[in-house]
Structures are given as structure tokens and as C-alpha cells.
């Protein structure tokens, strides 16, 4: 069964439940018992639409790109029902139509903003809309529209009596506006997205339309999102356990999903023999709404083939939570702190004066952030320059550098620059990180520097750092140092040992950091080393006076003060990681669990097509052949918008196979 067939089956069930209402008000189900596609007037409708209603005796007409799509919503909290409405609206607007938004929510700002975010998520781009505001023009229009209606008809239609609250008239006024009001200069009519509960209003539309000389839109009836707790019912905000709200915390979303109603059989044996019924399963409805189509199809196939509901939920709970977050939160964007520009501008006014002879103020600021003494910090024009100083002071005749292969090519360049042999040990093929035993075998009395990058600069993997250092220092000569490259460490979800503890425990280790990555100051070239004071003094002795220019110093100081920007960049990378890895798992593509702001994946036969699409779109990546890894690709996890072209390219190319 394809997803379209699942929608059709759900729609047939809804049409059967609403048969009396359909007959009373003239609704036209779009999927009959033997119909496999939803079509009306030559247009394929979104899956959730189960019936249409046209007026004036005409048949439903094709929906032109200029036709307005009327969307109304109410309530206090955004929930899955609103997300389903946003997806339907996005699918309807795919041809270029604009939206008319009618907001009757209690907190208009949060509901409207949340709906627009979800709309953009499902459309893949911004969708033009016009929010109807309650003003003098609309009030005058409403008075004219209601003047054509009679209370006796409304009493019969809605069952009003002496106990009906007066606000019912206000609610009706709002509904009539939703169906018929069109701002000046916009095309009238169009389509209105409604549910079966709003069918009684349709009986008043022709009369109200004549009063204001308006065109009645075609009504498209959507299925409501099912209750998570009760079969055959809609989710209700009055019963919080029956619906997932957008502002539910992660644990609550997980709990509601895992406890949600399923379409499983009475026993495991019966389930395995007959398969489940996904049309009765609210858990699958969540998967279908919040996860990529490939994931939903795989879940549906598993259900029909007899997979147990518990196994299905366990596999998809993380994807549901990530999907809800992706649909309702504007992705964070990484970038340089907004404080940097003004700070650099101010510093530019003093370029006729020399910068500080020694960058002691910046070293003090970095020391405070790193938890070490200022004497243990050495800044330079990028971490590359400070590494060069380390190689220089360690250089000696017959000396060598030991490193892992593959790794950052700069280490070999620095070794050759200082006439040091460069010997490498292959990484551990299981973890794609450092192989401690192989590095120890290379460590002999000629070793001057041993390079360890954490996270690994090719794979992003992180091993047991302190265990690796323990083994290395047992094998290294007393005058050797370990270069611990931590320029990507800001992106690690679980930090390694604090710098002060590492320097105390391993005084011949030099920790390298950079402000190019998480602080986004690549162009300023600000790097630093953290080392035990004697070793830091030796490094500092290599630095020329005035090595740091005024503009770079101003940028670095302002960026260090803006911790919020730093955290936003890190979180944006984590969001990109979550979004991309979810897609890779959906498509069965192998990748390395990364702790850096990049990810290494094995695209296998997909590589050529995906690489071509990325090049055409201007998205940079690194070809695995650079490290003798054909079929592999490394891409930076800057933020979600940065990785979206890759995700789109992967989904467009579904014919390749993973190379593992």
C-alpha cells in the first residue's frame, strides 16, 4: 500500500462517518470505494481532503495559480491539527496561489507565526499570504453580509434556543467573513479549507454572498487529526492527552507518541499473520505528518507486513520528535556576532596607531573562558601560526612527527617546513579515529611531536582522549610534546576534560583552539595555544612584537563577550546534524557519528549525481578521494539552510546504493 492509498482509505472511512452530513449539505466525496486517486476538476487534491462542495450547480473547477486559498484557525496553542492544515495549504499553494489567513486565535501573534513557520517548512519556501485584520472596512462588510440572513433559519440550522450565548452571532459573523470576505484588489472566491463541523455554514453562504455581491469559494473538507487516545474521534484541546501541542516538551511528545492508539491486532501472532491496520493508528498518523515520506512508507510497509506496534514506535519516536521540531521552529542561523562589525569599525578609526605590542588582554580573556592562568595562553595570527612555533621549537636533526592518516594536511606541511620526518599510522577502521596501538608503535626516541586532533579533522569522531594520552606518554621520549588540536571541540556535545586538568596531568601537551569555527571569525585569523607555563613561555618567545593587528583584536574581544552568538552557532550546527543524520538514516546511507561541525558519509553510487547537484547549486563539499575514500563526502554542518541542498539532492537521487 502506498501513502496515497492510505490517505484514500482514511478518506473513505471519514466519508462513511459523515454520510448523513454529506447528504444534508451536498458534500461530494472525492474518493469512492474503487477510486485510487483524488481528483477534482483536473486537479489532484492533497491527501487529507475527503470531500468538496461547489455552489451554483457548477462542477468543481481547476484551481488557478491566482485563486486565493482561505485558511482559518483559532485556539490558544498550536497543535498537530494546525500542522496538518499548514501542510494542506502548502500543497495547494504549490502552483503559486496566495493565502488569505483568517485568525480567530486568542494569541494571534504566536499562532500566526507558528502557522507560517510550519507552512514554510512544508512548502520548502515562503508562501505569500495576506492576514485579514479586523478593521472598519471588515466591520461594514460584516453588517451587510448579516443583513441578508434571518434568525429563524439560523435557529433551525444550528439548533439555537433561548440558552444559546449571544457570542454565537459573533462567531457566525467571523465564519461568514472567512468564507466570503476578500480584500480590495484581490480575486474573489478561490477555495476554503474546512472540516465537516463547518458544513452547516455552507447553507447560509449563497444568501450572504448575494447581500455583499461576493463569489462563494469551493469548499474543501479535510480530515481532522485523530485523537491519540480514542478511535473514531478527533484530537481535542480539552483533552491534552489526545493531541500533541507544538509547545509540549520533548519528553511529553515522546510519552504521547509511545502511548498513542494503534491499529494493531489482538495478539502478536495475529499481527504477524495479518498485519496491522494503519488507518486506525494515530501513531502512524503522526509519523506520516512529521516524518519524511520515505520514513512513513517504510513504517506503513512494516505495519502491513506484521511488525509489532511497539517495535514501530521505538524506531520512529526520535524521528517524530525531530519532525515536530523541524516543522515548528525557524532554524537557527550561524554567523559572526553582530557586535563584531561595530567593534571593528571603531577600531578602524585608530588604525593610525600601532596595536598592542603583546596581546595580553586577549590572552587574559581567553584564559578566563578556558579556566586557565593567562600565562598559559599564547595567541597568534591563527592557530596555524602558533602550531608553526611549536614545530620550530621542537625541530631537531633526525626528529620526526607522528600523526594519524588521513588527517589535516597542514600537519605534514609544517613538518616539512621544519625539516622533520612525517610518519603516519592508519586510523582505526572501526571507529575512523586514532589507533592508539599503531601510534604507540611509531613513537620512538626520534619523535619530537605527536599530533592528535579531537574531534578527528576528517571523520569528526572522538575516542578516549585521556586513555590515548596515557598510552602515548608512556612511549614518547621525555622531550616530545603532544599537539592536541581542539579547534572543533566547541561543537562536541560532551566536552573532554577541562583544559586546566589536562595541562596539569599532561604538562607536555599543547592544546590548540581557534576563533574561526564557533565564533565565525575565519577572516580575522585568531588562534591560540594553551600550555603549561614553561612551554607557553617558549612558544611566546617565537612571537614577533605587534603580531596581532587592531582589527583582529577588536573582533576577537567582541566575539568573546557575545556568548549568546557563540551558543547559537553551536546549536545551529547541532540542528543541522540532527536534520541531516535523520535523512541519512531514512535513506540507509552510512555515516560517521560526528562531534564536529562537519559530517563524513558514504554515498556509494549516489556520489556522482549528488556531487553534481551540489556543484550546480554552489554548495561546497569535500570529495572523499582526497583521503583515498572514493564515494565518501564530507560536508560542513553550518546550519539547517546550509545542508538543505544536500538533503534535497539525496532525496532526488533514490537509485544509488550505499557503498558499505
Domain ranges across the chain: 3-222, 240-328, 340-561, 587-652
Is residue 64 over pLDDT 70? no
Is residue 60 over pLDDT 70? no
Is residue 172 over pLDDT 90? no
Per-residue pLDDT band at 392 (split at 50, 70, 90): very high
For domain 340-561, the CATH class is alpha beta
Please indicate whether the domains covering 340-561 and 587-652 agree at the CATH topology level.
Answer: no
Pair type for strands 632-636 and 598-602: antiparallel
DSSP element (H, E) containing 425:
strand 421-426
Look up the pTM and report it. Answer: 0.68
Per-residue pLDDT band at 530 (split at 50, 70, 90): very high
Q: Is the dihedral of CA 209, 215, 221, 227 positive or negative?
A: negative
Per-residue pLDDT band at 107 (split at 50, 70, 90): low
Is residue 430 over pLDDT 80? yes
Rounded CA-CA distance 648/636 in Å is 16
Rounded CA-CA distance 120/122 in Å is 6
Q: Residue 115 is placed in which grid cell?
A: 502557522
Is residue 62 over pLDDT 80? no
Is residue 631 over pLDDT 90? yes
Percent of the chain clearing pLDDT 70 (strictly above): 94
Rounded CA-CA distance 579/561 in Å is 30
Tens digits of residue pLDDT in 437-446:
999 999 999 9
Per-residue pLDDT band at 58 (split at 50, 70, 90): very low
Mean pLDDT of 133-145: 84
Is residue 126 over pLDDT 90? no
Residue that is written with C-alpha cell 484581490 in the block: 186
Mean pLDDT of 401-405: 97
Is residue 511 over pLDDT 70? yes
What was the pLDDT predicted at 43?
A: 55
Tens digits of residue pLDDT in 205-223:
998 998 989 899 999 999 9
Per-residue pLDDT band at 406 (split at 50, 70, 90): very high
Mean pLDDT of 306-335: 88
- The domain 240-328 having CATH identifier 1.10.240.10: the answer here is yes
Rounded CA-CA distance 473/341 in Å is 44
Per-residue pLDDT band at 109 (split at 50, 70, 90): low
Tens digits of residue pLDDT in 339-362:
999 999 999 999 999 999 999 999
Return the closest-CA partner of residue 500 out of 374, 401, 615, 398.
374
What was the pLDDT predicted at 86?
A: 93
What was the pLDDT predicted at 613?
A: 93
Please tell me what DSSP assigns to residue 406.
S
Please tell me what DSSP assigns to residue 618.
T
Q: Residue 532 is placed in which grid cell?
A: 603549561
- The domain 587-652 having CATH identifier 3.40.5.50: the answer here is no
What was the pLDDT predicted at 623?
A: 97
What was the pLDDT predicted at 632?
A: 97
Return the closest-CA partner of residue 169 out of 70, 228, 177.
177
Q: What's phi and psi for 217, nearest 5 deg?
A: -75, 160
Per-residue pLDDT band at 660 (split at 50, 70, 90): very low
Mean pLDDT of 623-647: 95
Per-chain mean pLDDT for the chain: 90
Q: Is the dihedral of CA 455, 458, 461, 464 positive or negative?
A: negative
Tens digits of residue pLDDT in 292-318:
888 889 899 999 999 999 999 998 998
b/e per residue 423-452 (b: at least 16 CB within 10 A): bbbebbeeebbbbbebbbebbeebbbbbbb
Percent of the chain clearing pLDDT 90 (strictly above): 65
Q: Is 647 or 586 the better-scoring residue by pLDDT? A: 647
Rounded CA-CA distance 455/593 in Å is 11
Cα dist from 202 to 179, 183, 287, 492, whole Å: 9, 21, 33, 57
CATH topology of domain 3-222: Rossmann fold (3.40.50)
Is residue 478 over pLDDT 50? yes
Tens digits of residue pLDDT in 8-55:
999 999 999 999 999 999 999 986 544 444 544 445 789 999 999 998
What was the pLDDT predicted at 292?
A: 84
Q: Which residues contact 476 (CB under 8 A, 6 or more apart)?
A: 443, 447, 450, 482, 508
Q: What's phi and psi for 541, nearest 5 deg?
A: -65, -20
Amino acid at each position: 500500500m502506498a501513502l496515497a492509498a492510505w490517505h484514500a482509505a482514511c478518506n473513505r472511512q471519514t466519508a462513511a462517518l459523515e454520510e448523513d452530513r454529506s447528504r444534508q449539505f451536498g458534500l461530494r466525496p472525492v474518493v469512492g470505494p474503487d477510486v485510487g486517486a483524488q481528483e477534482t476538476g483536473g486537479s489532484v487534491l492533497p491527501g487529507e481532503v475527503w470531500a468538496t462542495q461547489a455552489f451554483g450547480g457548477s462542477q468543481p473547477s481547476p484551481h488557478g495559480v491566482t485563486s486565493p486559498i482561505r485558511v482559518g484557525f483559532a485556539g490558544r496553542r498550536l497543535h498537530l491539527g494546525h500542522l496538518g492544515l499548514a501542510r494542506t495549504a502548502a500543497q495547494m499553494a504549490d502552483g503559486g496561489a496566495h493565502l488569505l489567513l483568517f485568525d480567530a486565535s486568542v494569541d494571534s501573534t504566536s499562532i500566526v507565526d507558528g502557522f507560517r513557520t510550519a507552512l514554510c517548512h512544508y512548502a520548502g519556501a515562503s508562501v505569500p499570504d495576506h492576514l485579514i485584520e479586523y478593521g472598519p472596512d471588515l466591520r461594514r462588510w460584516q453588517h451587510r453580509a448579516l443583513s441578508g440572513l434571518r434568525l429563524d433559519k439560523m435557529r433551525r440550522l444550528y439548533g439555537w434556543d433561548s440558552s444559546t450565548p449571544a457570542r454565537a452571532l459573533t462567531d457566525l459573523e467571523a465564519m461568514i467573513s472567512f468564507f466570503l470576505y476578500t480584500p480590495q484588489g484581490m480575486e474573489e472566491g478561490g477555495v476554503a479549507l474546512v472540516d465537516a463541523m463547518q458544513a452547516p455554514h455552507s447553507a447560509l453562504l449563497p444568501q450572504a454572498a448575494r447581500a455583499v455581491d461576493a463569489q462563494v469559494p469551493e469548499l474543501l473538507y479535510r480530515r481532522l487529526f485523530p485523537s491519540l487516545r480514542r478511535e473514531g474521534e478527533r484530537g481535542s484541546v480539552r483533552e491534552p492527552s489526545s493531541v500533541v501541542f507544538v509547545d509540549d516538551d520533548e519528553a511529553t511528545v515522546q510519552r504521547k507518541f509511545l502511548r498513542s492508539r494503534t491499529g494493531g491486532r489482538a495478539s502478536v501472532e495475529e499481527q504477524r499473520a495479518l498485519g496491522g491496520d494503519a488507518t486506525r493508528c494515530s501513531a502512524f498518523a503522526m509519523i506520516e505528518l512529521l516524518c519524511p515520506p520515505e520514513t512513513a512508507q517504510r513504517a506503513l510497509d512494516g505495519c502491513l507486513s506484521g511488525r509489532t506496534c511497539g517495535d514501530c514506535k521505538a524506531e520512529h519516536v526520535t524521528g517524530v520528535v525531530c519532525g515536530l521540531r523541524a516543522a515548528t521552529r525557524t532554524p537557527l542561523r550561524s554567523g559572526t556576532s553582530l557586535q563584531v562589525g561595530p567593534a571593528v569599525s571603531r577600531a578602524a578609526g585608530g588604525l593610525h596607531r600601532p596595536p598592542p605590542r603583546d596581546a595580553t588582554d586577549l590572552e587574559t580573556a581567553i584564559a578566563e573562558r578556558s579556566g586557565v592562568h593567562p600565562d598559559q595562553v599564547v595567541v597568534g595570527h591563527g592557530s596555524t601560526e602558533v602550531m608553526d612555533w611549536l614545530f620550530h621549537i621542537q625541530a631537531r636533526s633526525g626528529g620526526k612527527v607522528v600523526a594519524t592518516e588521513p588527517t589535516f594536511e597542514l600537519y605534514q606541511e609544517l613538518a616539512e617546513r621544519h625539516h622533520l620526518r612525517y610518519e603516519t599510522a592508519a586510523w582505526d577502521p572501526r571507529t575512523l579515529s586514532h589507533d592508539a596501538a599503531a601510534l604507540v608503535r611509531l613513537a620512538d626516541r626520534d619523535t619530537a611531536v605527536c599530533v592528535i586532533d579531537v574531534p578527528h579533522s576528517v571523520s569528526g569522531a572522538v575516542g578516549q582522549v585521556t586513555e590515548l594520552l596515557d598510552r602515548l606518554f608512556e612511549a614518547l621520549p621525555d622531550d616530545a610534546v603532544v599537539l592536541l588540536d581542539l579547534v572543533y571541540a566547541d561543537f562536541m556535545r560532551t566536552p573532554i576534560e577541562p583544559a586546566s586538568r589536562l595541562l596539569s596531568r599532561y604538562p607536555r601537551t599543547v592544546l590548540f583552539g581557534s576563533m574561526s569555527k564557533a565564533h565565525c571569525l575565519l577572516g580575522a585569523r585568531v588562534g591560540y595555544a594553551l600550555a603549561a607555563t614553561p612551554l607557553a613561555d617558549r612558544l611566546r618567545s617565537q612571537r614577533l612584537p605587534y603580531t596581532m593587528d587592531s582589527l583582529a583584536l577588536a573582533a576577537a574581544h567582541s566575539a568573546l563577550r557575545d556568548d549568546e552568538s557563540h551558543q547559537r552557532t553551536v546549536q545551529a550546527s547541532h540542528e543541522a546534524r540532527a536534520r541531516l543524520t535523520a535523512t541519512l538514516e531514512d535513506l540507509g546511507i552510512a555515516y560517521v557519528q560526528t562531534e564536529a561541525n562537519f559530517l563524513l558519509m558514504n554515498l556509494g553510487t549516489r556520489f556522482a549525481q549528488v556531487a553534481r547537484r551540489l556543484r550546480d547549486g554552489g554548495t561546497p563539499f569535500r570529495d572523499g578521494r582526497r583521503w583515498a575514500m572514493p564515494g565518501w563526502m564530507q560536508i560542513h554542518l553550518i546550519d539547517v539552510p546550509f545542508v538543505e541542498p544536500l538533503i534535497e539532492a539525496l532525496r532526488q537521487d533514490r537509485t544509488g546504493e550505499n557503498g558499505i
